[in-house]
Amino acid sequence: MFARLMGLKTISPTHLHERMQTEPVTLVDDVHAVPANVTVTTGGVTDVEFQFTGEANASYTISITSPDRSKTVTIPQVTGKAFVQ
């Protein structure tokens, strides 16, 4: 909706995924190393992807576990808002 209001071109998640297979991808966030005693799992996906306007391309679950604590981040596709448990 925001993209249309701003006069920007929109793209469907399916078309975006197809484009990513044939064109270069530019990372917009920095990559950080995970310490050896921390485990991060992404619920079976290798990339957690969002549209420019913040919508998630799919629903994601990310689990972070260390020796003294663990957290789960759940991101529903509908809103893209992350919930930390």
- Per-residue pLDDT of 42-83, as tens digits, reads 877 777 887 777 778 888 888 999 999 899 988 888 776 777
User: What is the percentage of the chain residues whose pLDDT exceeds 90?
Assistant: 6
pLDDT of 47 reads 78
Q: Which residue has the higher pLDDT, 1 or 62?
A: 62
User: Considering Cα of 34, then 39, then 81, then 5, what sign does the dihedral take?
Assistant: positive
pLDDT at 21 over 70: yes
Confidence of residue 19 (pLDDT cuts 50, 70, 90): confident
Write down the pTM of the prediction.
0.53
Q: How does the average pLDDT of the chain come out, rounded?
A: 78
Q: Tokens 């957290």 label which residue?
A: 71
User: Which structure tokens are listed for 10?
Assistant: 């929109």
Please name the residues in contact with 1: beta carbons below 8 A apart, sequence gap of 6 or more: 53
CB atoms within 10 A of CB 57: 19
Q: Is residue 43 a contact partner of residue 60, using CB atoms and an 8 Å limit?
A: yes
Tokens 């793209």 appear where?
11
Report residue 3: phi and psi, to 5°: -60, -40
Query: Domain span at residue 34?
Result: 2-84
